[in-house]
Each structure stands twice: as C-alpha cells, then as structure tokens.
Amino acid sequence: MNTNEEREYKNDSKSILLMVLGVAILVVAVIGVSFAAFAASKATSNVNTLTTGAISMAFQDTTYIDIHNAMPISDKEGMALTGDYNTMKFTVSANVSGSTTIDYVISAVDVTDQNGNKIPEKYLKIYMTGEGSIISTPKLYSDLENVQHEDQVDKVLAHSSFVTTASSAQEYKKDYELKMWIDEKAVIGKDPMTFKIRVRLDAEQK
C-alpha cells in the first residue's frame, strides 16, 4: 500500500470508528429511555435529582344508556334524567409517580348501524358532568367539535388533564356522567330510529 492509500485507509477507519461509537451511544440512549415510562427532572435546593416513574391508566364505565320509546324532551328534563339505563357513568384514572402532565380527550364514537333508521345528529342532545360540575351545557351532537381518529371522525365530549407532583405512586381519578336525549324540537314519526355511541378515551403524557 502506498502512502496515499495508507492515509485514505486511516481516514476511512476513523470514519467507521466514529460511526460505530455514534451508534453505540444511540443504542444506550434508546435503552435508557425505554426503561423509563416517563422522566422528569427536579432541582432541589441542595441536590439535582432526576426522578423516573411509571404511569398506568384506566377507563371504567359503571352504567350505560339504553333508552327505548324516547320522545322529544326539554333540556331541563334531559339534564334531570336519572336511574338505570338513563345515564352513563364512568371514571378516568391514572396511577402516577413523579411530576408530569397527562392530557386526555373523551370523545363519542358513532356506532349506529348505518343501514338502519338513524336519529339525525341535529336531533340528539348531549350533556356531560364531571365530578358533579357541568362540563358543557346541553349541545346538539351535530354541534360538537370533531376529532379525527384513524379514518373516522368522532365528537369531542371533554378535554382534561392530570397534573401530578407526588414523588411516590398516587392515584388520580375523575368521575363523569353522560346523558343524551331527543331534542324537544325534533320531529319523529312512528318508525323507530336509533342512535348509538361508545365513549372513547385518548391520553398522552406531555
């Protein structure tokens, strides 16, 4: 090998060595991040600490809506609906250690049989409370904000978040209640019409 070729060989070797080192650093970084579900840094007055923790979430519905022979009713009557199969009660909870924010969106997924007789969206009223407080005043399903999930457009029912600060594992929980009814202005005939939804929860750590 002549001098130039030797030099070229050395340079190429350096490049390869650098690339190998870089990949090694990358692999270590990925493994380090994967083992921590989330990471937060907090500086105390004396010691700089890095706290890692774990998150688990749960979405539990305890009752569901199954109303038959529905007639148009006022918002006042709709908001006062109570009892078995007239409301959906559910809980969103997270078990978190460390400081972080988890944003979540609750949405309605239309699962009505599209080949059947469907209640028009402009006739359906939706109302939600959370922790006993009103999340939004009764709204027509057609007026709810859209949210895209894969190839389906769903309707946003509520946004919220858990902001956590405890260093040890702690449970955060919010209870919700959903009601729906036929708007008092709806015109319905004697042929049955149906509307069905499932409630969906999407959460993301920030």
Partner 1 sequence: MKEKKESAKRIVFTILGILLLICSVMIVGFAIFVFEDTSNHDNSITTGTNPEGTLSFAYNENSNGVELMNAIPIDDVTGKKLTNSDKAKGINQGYFDFSIRASGTSAGKIKYQIYATLENDSNMDTKYIKVYLTDDKNNPYRGYDSDVPVFSSLDKYSSQKNSKILYSDEINVKEDVIKRFRLRLWVAKDYSDGATSKTFKIKVNVRATA
Nearest residue (CB) to partner 1, 55 versus 158: 55
Q: State which amino acid sits at residue 4.
A: N
Residues 6+ apart with CB under 8 A from 39: 33, 50, 51, 52
Among 51, 52, 75, 86, the residue binding partner 1 under the rule CB under 8 A is: 86
Partners of 89 in the β-ladder? 177
26 is a contact residue toward partner 1 (CB under 8 A): yes
Q: How open is the CA angle 126-128-132, to the nearest 5 degrees?
A: 155
The single residue among 50, 80, 134, 163 that binds partner 1, judged by CB under 8 A, is: 80
Site string for partner 1, 37-56 (x = CB under 8 A): xxx---------------x-
Q: Residue 167 or 203: which CB sits closer to partner 1?
A: 203
Q: Which residues in the 157-186 window bind partner 1 by CB under 8 A?
A: 178, 180-182
**Count residues contacting partner 1 (CB under 8 A)?**
72
* Span from 1-9, 43-51, 155-163, 166-174 in contact with partner 1 (CB under 8 A): 1-9
Residue 127: CB partners within 8 Å, gap ≥ 6? 75, 78, 79, 134, 136, 137, 138, 139, 178, 179, 180
Residue 53 in tokens: 């923790």
Q: What are phi and psi of 200, to 5 degrees?
A: -120, 145
> Shortest approach of partner 1 to residue 117 CB, angstroms?
9
Q: Is 6 in the site for partner 1 (CB under 8 A)?
A: no
Binding segment toward partner 1, per CB under 8 A, in 43-51, 101-109, 129-137, 156-164 = 101-109
Is residue 88 at the binding interface for partner 1, with CB under 8 A as the rule?
Answer: yes
Neighbours of 16 (CB within 10 A): 10
Strand partners, 174: 92
One of 111, 134, 153, 166 touching partner 1 (CB under 8 A)? 111
Other beta carbons within 10 angstroms of residue 105's beta carbon come to 19
Q: What residues between 59 and 78 interact with partner 1 by CB under 8 A? A: 59, 61, 64-71, 73, 77
Instruction: Find the binding residues for partner 1 in span 120-149 (CB under 8 A).
Output: 124
> Do the Cβ atoms of 72 and 188 come closer than 8 Å?
yes
Quick one: which of 46, 48, 137, 206 contacts partner 1 (CB under 8 A)?
A: 206
Give CA–CA dist 111/191, Å, rounded.
20
